[in-house]
Each structure stands twice: as structure tokens, then as C-alpha cells.
């Protein structure tokens, strides 16, 4: 997904649901100096922001990061399975 400044409620529901139903490895390198070692901790905070602040453009970067993490997890084969 390309970056965009706003997200719809449907997009938020979809990404939240995806992370709630999939188990992933806890270490991911997104490139560009972004490396997450404790993915569950990061996702807890990012998903909270997505659920509560998706209408506020200030948080679009954090919300976009969720989509980027999902895409990289799939690309790198780090999705373990469904919960």
C-alpha cells in the first residue's frame, strides 16, 4: 500500500482484524533504519492508535506503519499462522 494521509474505517477494521488473527515472528527489519525486535509491544501501541485516532491526519504515519509491517511480514515469510 502506498502512503496516504487518511484511512477509512473499513481499512482500519481490516488491518486490525488481520493482526488480531495472525501470529508473526517477533523480529522484523523494515529497512531504512527501522528494526522492530518486540513486534507484539509495537503492534499493541500502533493498533491502539489506529482504532482511536484514525480520523486524525497527524497519526497517518503510525497507521501506515501497520500496513507496511504486514506487507513486510508476508514478503519475508514471517507470518507463523493464524491465532
pLDDT one-digit tens code per residue, 55-81: 999 999 999 999 999 999 999 999 999
Residue the block writes with cell 513486510: 72
Domain that holds residue 27: 9-82
Burial class (CB in 10 A: 0-12, 13-18, 19+), 5: exposed
Please indicate, yes or no, if residue 4 is contained in any of the structural domains: no
**pLDDT beyond 90 at 1:** no
Any domain includes 3 = no
Total number of domains in the chain: 1
Q: What is the mean pLDDT of residues 6-25?
A: 96
Residue 1 resides in a domain: no
**Threshold 0.75, pTM exceeds:** yes
Residue 53 lies in a domain: yes
Amino acid at each position: 500500500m502506498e502512503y496516504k494521509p487518511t484511512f477509512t474505517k473499513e481499512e482500519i477494521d481490516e488491518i486490525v482484524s488481520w493482526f488480531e488473527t495472525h501470529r508473526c515472528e517477533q523480529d522484523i527489519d523494515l529497512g531504512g533504519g527501522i528494526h522492530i525486535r518486540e513486534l507484539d509491544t509495537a503492534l499493541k501501541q500502533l493498533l491502539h492508535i489506529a482504532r482511536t485516532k484514525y480520523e486524525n491526519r497527524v497519526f497517518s504515519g503510525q497507521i501506515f506503519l501497520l500496513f507496511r509491517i504486514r506487507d513486510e511480514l508476508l514478503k519475508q515469510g514471517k507470518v507463523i499462522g493464524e491465532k
